[in-house]
Amino acid sequence: MSGRELSERGGPKSPSERRFATKLLHFGGEIDAVTGASSVPIHQASTFHHHDIYNPPAFDYSRSGNPTRAAVESAIALLEGGTRGFAFASGMAAISSALLLLSAGDHIIVTEDVYGGTYRLLTTILTRMNIETTFVDMTDLDAVRAALKPNTAAVFMETPSNPTLKITDVAAVAAWAKERGLLTMVDNTFMTPYHQRPLELGVDIVLHSATKFLGGHSDVLAGLAVTKDEALGKRLYALQNGLGAVLAPQEGWLLLRGMKTLQARMEQSERSARRLAEWLAARGDIARVYYPGLPEHPGRDVHERQSLGYGAVVSFDVGSGERAKRVLSRVQLPLVAVSLGAVESILSYPAMMSHAAMPPEVRAERGIGDGLLRYSVGLEHVDDLLEDLEQALGGADS
Ligand SMILES: *Cc1c(COP(=O)(O)O)cnc(C)c1O
């Protein structure tokens, strides 16, 4: 704001010229233009007065636009390197609105171990609109190519995938899709723009469940979308306004508050997640550990090319459903719950929680067995988390 930092041109730097940590706090809309207030006001209004009937105000009705929501939208657009951001009532509201860019008769290629809610949307709701999906192992470019049909319109990626953290080569898939005129989308919830910016890899739309790391405190449900192409941004805006699943101003304010500390939270959680993953991998009694930061992770090289970090989610298979349930009943620190990406650690059980909507045989095929647990590492001291998990894993047969 003050222009104390000079850009290469000699003038004040614009928000996009600054580093990520600074962008989180100084995205351009952080100070109230009218009063100078240190945080964006919660504009709890559904409609806006037309002072001059011939010159409609910038905001006229809150479904179409609200100043608090607009602040969130400009923040996420800046962080993802896009031109336009969109805030929705939930991650699924963002994903379903974006998927309605498709029309009846279209076909979409989707990461096979996609978020359970996205799977449900594609297989039980969009099927009724005659939009068909092929789920593929997106880590295998040949499998992606083989899924192409004459009516394929889009490719939907999630990387690292959920919950087995498989890595898709985003730039390779996006380049292939672009040659064929397919729209590409990435669910970037697990990485956040701090670690991974899909628009820079050639993707058309970035999607988030901001309920997770971006909000970061398990106290707000929100979804975000970002586009770079202006025409595509207009089409997505028409869907946001037309479908109306918008983010409310109170939720927008909470989300903005959470986003300010994204980098500080991600850095600490990731450091602890790496410790946790290494600790689990070194034990003899864990069937498998899934974490892109482990040297044996098959997608590690691709991940390191396209991401600046490994994230804070570690999945591991304790061998059986009985043992997984025992761990869940014994842990003292993590919340045993669905969701992830919060200040507090969250331990979830995909088979009975996030992926319960997936038929057991499909789950098994995708590596989401009954022994699989997903640990989202929060900000507790990592030694306390390890000691707690140690006691929960111990006495396997008691
Ligand atoms: C939670 C989640 C969603 C859905 O977001 P909601 O805010 O719960 O609607 C979508 N994708 C991923 C990867 C998620 O973790």
**Residue of minimum CA distance from atom 8 in ligand 1:** 91
Q: pLDDT (tens digit, 9 = 90+) per residue, 83-125? A: 999 999 999 999 999 999 999 999 999 999 888 899 999 999 9
CA-wise closest residue to 74 among 61, 84, 62:
84
Determine the pLDDT at residue 8. 60
Superfamily of domain 263-395: Aspartate Aminotransferase, domain 1 (3.90.1150.10)
The CB of 65 under 6 Å from ligand 1? The reply is: no
Q: Distance, CA 294 to ligand 1 centroid (Å)? A: 25
* 247 backbone dihedrals φ, ψ, rounded to 5°: -80, 135
Q: How many helices (H) and strands (E) does the chain have?
A: 14, 12
Determine the pLDDT at residue 43. 97
CA 248/CA 43 separation, integer angstroms: 9
**Residue of minimum CA distance from atom 4 in ligand 1:** 91
CA-wise closest residue to 188 among 205, 164, 163:
205
Determine the pLDDT at residue 7. 56
Q: Max Cα separation, the chain?
A: 76
The CB of 139 under 6 Å from ligand 1? The reply is: no
CA 126/CA 100 separation, integer angstroms: 9
Determine the pLDDT at residue 4. 45
Q: Distance, CA 391 to ligand 1 centroid (Å)? A: 30
Q: pLDDT (tens digit, 9 = 90+) per residue, 120-156? A: 999 999 999 999 999 999 999 999 999 999 999 999 9
Atom in ligand 1 nearest the alpha carbon of residue 118: 10
**Residue of minimum CA distance from atom 5 in ligand 1:** 91
Place of tokens 């806006």: 48
Six token digits for residue 242 = 């037309």
Give the start-to-end residue ranges of the domains of the chain. Answer: 15-259, 263-395
* Weakly modelled stretches of the chain, pLDDT under 70: 1-9, 395-398
The CB of 189 under 6 Å from ligand 1? The reply is: yes
The CB of 215 under 6 Å from ligand 1? The reply is: no
The CB of 350 under 6 Å from ligand 1? The reply is: no
- Cis peptide, bond prior to residue 15, ω within 30 of zero: no
Domain 15-259 class, CATH top level: alpha beta
Expressed in angstroms, the distance from the first to the final Cα of the chain is 61
Determine the pLDDT at residue 3. 37
